[in-house]
Amino acid sequence: MQRPMLTIRSASLTGYTDLARHVGLDPARMLRKVGLSARDLVNPDTPISTSAVRELLENSAAAANVEDFGLRLAMRRRLSNLGPISAVMSEAPTVREALESLCRYMRLINASLLTRIEDHGDAVLIRESILVNDKNSVRQSIEMAVGVLYRSLEELLGPSWRPRSVCFEHRPPDSATCHKTLFRSAVEFNSGFNGIVCHARDLAAHRSAGDSQMALYARRFLDQALSGANDSTTHTIRQVIVAILPNGRCTADQVARHLGVDRRTLHRRLAAEDASFSSLLQAVRCELASRQIRDGDRSLSELADLLGFSSSSAFAFWFKKHFGMTVSNWRNAQ
């Protein structure tokens, strides 16, 4: 079965043309290379392929030899670039509620980005995950996503706000100047997740609301759009697998409970889309493993934990079976 194309608002490439020229690239040529054109960027609400945007960012970073290309693009963002969602977020009485709205409507902005909020005592972790169907790097897309999230939080909380830390799963760039300039706080690379750790009190503090009438209109518009967005069962289950995989063993029973159905229903819905849970789990693990090994410097035991294996030896056995070589040999080949 052919997978449906995941889309993202063309506003995600706001400022791309200027930045590409600034680093010595021909933006029209780079866009054409991934099947896009300047016309696609005129209307910020135009849906374009998430895979094309991801490839464009990686190609641009490589061609210009600019490791932080995606982050530089994020530095040009404002909350308003999120479209109607920005009106809903701006009127929220707390930033925590603004973030919950962002999580709810995220798939209308970017169908391949999963944003989750996790509470850990006096800290709140905002996790960003890119859902893709291949093993290519998502470093630029992740840095742009985390950068846009940071810029949105900064606009909501004020310029004096600082997070506890900003985290990336990939290894650090040769120069992290751009990261220090934007985040102005502790940046952790080779971390266990991509996202931002905030003080819970910052997100819970009450703030002055924005235009409530505009927010009401925007929420109705977004709810209507959300009701018409029919994600495939396969895509939904991929989201759940990515979310629970680092927490330990990921089984069909666990995923079914998360979705409020029984295991038999889960398998039946996947079968209707010519898919199976085991093949989907293996595909997600292969994609995550390849990116973690290519872009990061984690040990075998850390990789095993992130991918839901009981031990490093179990992960090493699985990896050799699916990739045809050991982790160290595969890393060297990359």
Query: What is the pLDDT, as a whole number, of residue 230?
Result: 58
| pLDDT recorded at residue 262 | 84
Backbone angles phi, psi at 184, to 5 degrees: 50, 30
Give me the pLDDT at residue 42, please: 87
Q: Report pLDDT for 231.
A: 65
Are 194 and 146 a contacting pair, CB within 8 Å?
yes
What separation in angstroms does the CA of 69 have from each of 9, 23, 172, 229, 234? 19, 9, 14, 31, 31
Backbone angles phi, psi at 113, to 5 degrees: -110, 130
Which residue in 224, 218, 244, 228 sits closest to 98, CA to CA? 218
Around Cβ 185, how many Cβ atoms within 10 Å? 16
Instruction: Retrieve residue 230's tokens.
Output: 């029919």
- The predicted model scores a pTM of 0.78
Name the 3-class secondary structure at 280.
helix
Name all domains of the chain by residue range, CATH numbers in brackets: 66-204 (no CATH), 233-333 (1.10.10.60)
pLDDT at 2: 43
User: Mean pLDDT of residues grouped by 10 in the chain (334 residues)?
Assistant: 67 94 97 91 86 95 96 92 88 93 88 90 94 82 96 93 95 90 89 95 84 76 71 78 75 80 88 90 88 86 85 91 90 83
Alpha-carbon gap, residue 18 to 22, rounded angstroms = 6
Angle in degrees, CA 33, 284, 305, rounded to 5: 125
Find residue 299's DSSP bridge partners. none
Q: Which amino acid type is present at position 306?
A: L
3-state secondary structure (DSSP) of residue 108: helix
